[in-house]
Chains A and B, each alone.
Chain A
């Protein structure tokens, strides 16, 4: 069964700290891994990763994928209170029999940044 596991489930840090969020996966026929940020409402897209070792960056956020060890990390440097959110990891898997892809989401990491 396809599975995506995020850790930690919850993290509380002080403003200015650096945090690392983890996502490990076991899926058949991996195609891509996506990170989303969810504040009070809809998840918003952050990154899509398809190749190992290539870092994606956006401001203070960066992410990298290791397809050999089956995990990804999301780093946030110099955290701000506006970074407080749930961070969701999702893996796209190809379903051979149906000829389709599906997204499997992890449980999410709830990040709280205290001033």
Chain B
């Protein structure tokens, strides 16, 4: 009963370094999402993917890139990390997707990223 799995759980980077957060889901969900959670800010959508091979920007996409080459995987990349990207990142997936109506997300456990 894996659900949504994120790796790594913790990461410390120096300013300017690059890294990729990985997300995998085993529920055959069509849509996948990346959110970031900062104190007092709630969850903010970075990017989403309504289906394999398609991606769209969310509220806060600057400084990030994504890749959805396989239905079960959604990767979030930071090309040149900045301290403002220190946050907790959540991957989520859903069956119906953003275009199809009511949308219940299943979340991963989160990845805590610190950029020094």
Chain A residues close to B by CB (< 8 Å): 4, 9, 31-32, 34, 41-45, 48, 50, 88, 90, 92, 99-103, 105-108
B42 with A105: CB separation less than 8 A: yes
Contact size range, B: 20 to 34
Chain B residues close to A by CB (< 8 Å): 4, 35, 40-45, 50, 56, 58, 90, 98-110
A-side binding surface: helix, strand, loop or mixed? strand
10 A-B pairs with least C-beta separation? A42-B107, A105-B42, A105-B43, A41-B109, A107-B42, A100-B98, A101-B98, A100-B99, A43-B107, A32-B102
A50 with B102: CB separation less than 8 A: yes
A22 → chain B closest CB, angstroms: 14
24 chain-A/chain-B pairs, Cβ below 8 angstroms: A31-B101, A31-B102, A34-B104, A41-B109, A42-B90, A42-B108, A42-B109, A42-B110, A43-B43, A43-B90, A43-B105, A44-B107, A45-B105, A48-B104, A92-B102, A92-B103, A100-B98, A102-B58, A102-B98, A103-B105, A105-B42, A105-B43, A106-B42, A108-B42
